[in-house]
């Protein structure tokens, strides 16, 4: 869907008439001016709301009208039919692990179309002709299979539609599209902060760099701070098991910290509630994950507000990048809101207060 600019809305013409309800005049001649001022904004707002909704559905869209080819290589310029080969329930009843597959002969060569992290594909809901981006957890294998962790949100049309699909159904996709380019050796440490299904691009990055090749040497250390509302809403064991195993075996390469808003409800089948951090990810949590604590500070610095100096000083000594992905309120609280048209905007929130610059923060 093309973003609507403020000058792209259809023109709306209003015809001023005395408004009546149940035979009674809504304004009198004696108070006509004041009443019109109250009524007109309401009428205008209703018309504009309707116009925006109609424009959203009817406005020409290049990607939505992209053709579908069954025998062309996978590409961002057109849709390719994929087959749903697996649909697995998760600990959270609102999420599922879905596996899509395209025929291997439709895969471009690695040199021709790079599948390096972080990349996503668009999935099209054929019923209402709407597409949404999703990140394959493990990229794409030689058999053309891609696995996704997808949540069914109350107002998420495509997510609900995907949850209704059965194994064997065809689903149209286009991509891959680059989300963020990983570069070996550019960063000493990458701190990934996620909420909900916002962990999926980070899982893809970690699978590419660490999980699929544990013996691979990296100059970069990864830290993952993930938050969910309740234990059962954490990622399923199929995702958490390799992450926690790698973090335990190679703590110098990967650190994983899991947060929940509350411990209410059943425990997660893989992670005991006793090891979960209760509370949202805050500045103390970020600095603790970076091993910045009072033991490394002089006695007088401990009297300052927590983290007042640790963040910037830490960044001066090491090249640290912060990646943030999750619900928009969380992104705004951690790194500041997106700018216009989902540009990066300024660095704000917790990372802004820690002295991070725009070159050290990226919002996904």
- What does the pLDDT read at residue 316? 55
CB atoms closer than 10 angstroms to residue 216: 11
- What does the pLDDT read at residue 210? 95
Burial of 112 (0-12, 13-18, 19+ CB in 10 A): exposed
Rounded to the nearest 10 degrees, how much is the dihedral formed by the CA atoms of 224, 230, 234, 237?
130
Beta strands in 26-93 (DSSP E): 80-89
- What does the pLDDT read at residue 213? 87
Distance from C-alpha of 273 to C-alpha of 50, rounded to nearest angstrom: 47
With CA atoms as reference, report the closest residue to 223 among 270, 272, 143, 286. 286
- What does the pLDDT read at residue 271? 96
145 annotated to a ligand binding site: no
Distance from C-alpha of 251 to C-alpha of 168, rounded to nearest angstrom: 41
- What does the pLDDT read at residue 113? 62
158 annotated to a ligand binding site: yes
Two structure tokens written together for 156:
């998420």
DSSP state of 197: G
133 annotated to a ligand binding site: yes
Q: What is the CATH number of domain 189-363?
A: 3.40.50.80
- What does the pLDDT read at residue 52? 41
Distance from C-alpha of 284 to C-alpha of 264, rounded to nearest angstrom: 23
What pairs with residue 120 in β-bridges? 177
77 annotated to a ligand binding site: no
- What does the pLDDT read at residue 318? 85
CB 322 within 8 A of CB 191: yes
132 annotated to a ligand binding site: yes
User: Where in the chain is CATH 2.40.30.10?
Assistant: 80-178
Tokens 């749903």, located at residue: 84
Residues in the chain: 364
On whether the 80-178 domain is CATH 2.40.30.10, my answer is yes
- As separate numbers, helices (DSSP H) first and strands (DSSP E) second, the chain gives 8, 14
User: Where in the chain is CATH 3.40.50.80?
Assistant: 189-363
pLDDT along the chain (364 residues), means of 10: 38 34 35 47 47 42 76 95 97 96 90 81 92 96 96 90 97 95 93 98 97 87 97 97 96 96 96 96 93 44 43 63 97 96 94 96 98
């Amino acid at each position: 869907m093309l973003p609507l600019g403020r000058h792209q809305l259809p023109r709306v013409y209003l015809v001023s008439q005395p408004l009546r309800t149940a035979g009674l005049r809504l304004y009198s001649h004696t108070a006509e001016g004041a009443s019109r001022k109250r009524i007109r904004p309401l009428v205008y707002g209703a018309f504009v709301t309707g116009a925006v909704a109609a424009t959203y559905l009817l406005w020409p869209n290049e990607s939505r009208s992209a053709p579908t080819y069954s025998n062309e290589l996978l590409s961002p310029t057109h849709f390719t039919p994929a087959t749903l080969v697996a649909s697995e329930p998760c600990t959270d009843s609102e999420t599922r692990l879905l596996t899509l597959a395209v025929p291997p002969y439709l895969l471009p060569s690695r040199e021709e179309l790079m599948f390096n992290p972080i990349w996503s594909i668009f999935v099209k809901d054929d019923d209402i002709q709407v597409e949404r981006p999703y990140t394959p957890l493990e990229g794409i294998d030689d058999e053309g299979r891609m696995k996704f962790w997808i949540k069914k949100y109350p107002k998420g049309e495509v997510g609900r539609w995907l949850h209704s699909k059965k194994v064997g159904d065809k689903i149209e996709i286009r991509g891959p599209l680059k989300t963020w380019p990983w570069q070996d050796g550019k960063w000493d440490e990458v701190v990934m902060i996620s909420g909900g299904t916002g962990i999926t691009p980070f899982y893809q990055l970690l699978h590419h760099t660490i999980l699929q090749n544990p013996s691979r040497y990296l100059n970069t250390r990864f830290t993952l701070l993930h938050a969910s509302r309740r234990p059962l809403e954490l990622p399923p064991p199929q995702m958490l098991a390799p992450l926690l195993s790698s973090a335990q075996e190679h703590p110098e390469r990967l650190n994983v910290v899991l947060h929940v808003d509350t411990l209410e409800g059943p425990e997660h089948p893989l992670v005991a509630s006793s090891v979960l951090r209760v509370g949202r990810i805050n500045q103390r949590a970020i600095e603790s994950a970076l091993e910045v604590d009072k033991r490394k500070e002089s006695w007088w610095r401990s009297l300052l507000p927590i983290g007042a100096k640790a963040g910037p000083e830490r960044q001066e000594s090491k090249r640290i990048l912060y990646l943030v992905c999750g619900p928009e309120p969380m992104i705004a609280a951690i790194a500041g809101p997106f700018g216009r048209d989902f540009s990066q905007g300024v660095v704000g929130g917790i990372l802004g207060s820690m002295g991070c610059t725009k070159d050290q923060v990226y919002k996904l």
